[in-house]
């Protein structure tokens, strides 16, 4: 069983985290350890957060621990940042760990296998710095799950490529064995 550090940002798809990523990871025998950016934590309904904690057996983190407190999650073997907002991707590429979720990702960049699914719109993707952020992450060994920003979207969010995120996690996870 691999411990998968799942980091989710406040972007479309965070409301699908349990069904799209966490439950399938559990079904595959992995232990998800979830961190949310502060805004994603504010967006998530308390009942959903409690359900994630119930099914994983671990706290859902969004705040840093205090000095002297025990680590609330076991050591992470692989990260899946999904969905990752444009803000999260940019900060990760620049090494900015200004919240608990970005801190754990930044600490793992280059040393812990990582899958990142950027959930951004076409305007973010056109920003002059965007391609450089993606290239920085690729150079650090990050597996990016990209998708066509112009493809039609379903109203309920089922269009998110959770299957591709899971396939990337599976590929990296097999490399750990």
Does 69 map to a domain?
no
- Is the pLDDT at 142 greater than 60? The verdict is yes
pLDDT of residue 122: 85
* CB-based contact 11:85 (threshold 8 Å): yes
Q: How many domains does the chain have?
A: 1
What is the DSSP code (8-state) at residue 70? Answer: P
Q: For 56-92, b where at least 16 C-beta lie within 10 A, e where not — what string?
A: bebbbbbeeeeeeeeeebeebbbbbbbbbbbbbbbbb
Q: For residue 39, what are the β-bridge partners?
A: none
The answer as to whether 67 is a domain residue is no
Does the structure show a pLDDT above 80 at 174? Answer: no
* Mean residue pLDDT across the chain: 91
The pLDDT tens digits of the residues spanning 75-90 come to 999 999 999 999 999 9
Q: Is 79 among the domain residues?
A: yes
Which pLDDT score, from 0 to 100, does residue 159 have?
Answer: 66
Whole-prediction pTM = 0.92
Return the pLDDT at 156. Answer: 46
- The predicted pLDDT at position 49 comes to 96
- Position 94 in a domain: yes
Residue 1 has pLDDT above 90, yes or no: no
CATH code for the domain of 42: 3.40.50.1950
Cα 54 from Cα 59, distance rounded (Å): 9
In this predicted structure, what is the pLDDT of residue 177?
Answer: 52
Tokens found for residue 41: 């934590």
Write the pLDDT tens digit of every residue in 2-39.
999 999 999 988 999 999 999 999 999 999 999 999 99
pLDDT in tens, 99-123: 999 999 999 999 999 999 999 988 8
- Structural domain boundaries, residue 20: 3-62+74-149+157-176
Residue 135 has pLDDT above 80, yes or no: yes
Dihedral Cα 125, 130, 135, 140, nearest 10 deg: -110
Choice among 37-41, 140-144, 170-174 with the minimum mean pLDDT = 170-174
In a domain, 32, yes or no: yes
> Does a structural domain hold residue 114?
yes
pLDDT in tens, 34-63: 999 999 999 999 999 999 999 999 999 999
Domain contains 38: yes
Residue 119 to residue 148: CA distance in whole angstroms: 11
pLDDT of residue 155: 47
| Position 97 in a domain | yes
């Amino acid at each position: 069983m691999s411990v998968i550090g799942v980091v989710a940002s406040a972007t479309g798809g965070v409301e699908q985290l349990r069904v799209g990523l966490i439950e399938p990871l559990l079904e595959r025998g992995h232990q998800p350890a979830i961190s949310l950016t502060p805004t994603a934590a504010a967006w998530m309904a308390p009942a959903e957060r409690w359900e994630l904690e119930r099914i994983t057996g671990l706290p859902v983190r969004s705040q840093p621990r205090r000095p002297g407190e025990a680590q609330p999650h076991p050591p992470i073997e692989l990260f899946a940042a999904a969905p990752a907002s444009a803000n999260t991707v940019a900060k990760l590429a620049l090494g900015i760990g200004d919240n608990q979720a970005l801190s754990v990702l930044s600490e793992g960049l280059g040393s812990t296998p990582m899958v990142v699914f950027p959930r951004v719109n076409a305007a973010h993707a056109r920003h002059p710095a965007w391609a450089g952020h993606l290239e920085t992450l690729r150079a650090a060994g990050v597996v990016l799950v990209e998708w066509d920003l112009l493809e039609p979207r379903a109203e309920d969010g089922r269009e998110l490529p959770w299957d591709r995120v899971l396939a990337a996690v599976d590929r990296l996870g097999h490399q750990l064995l």
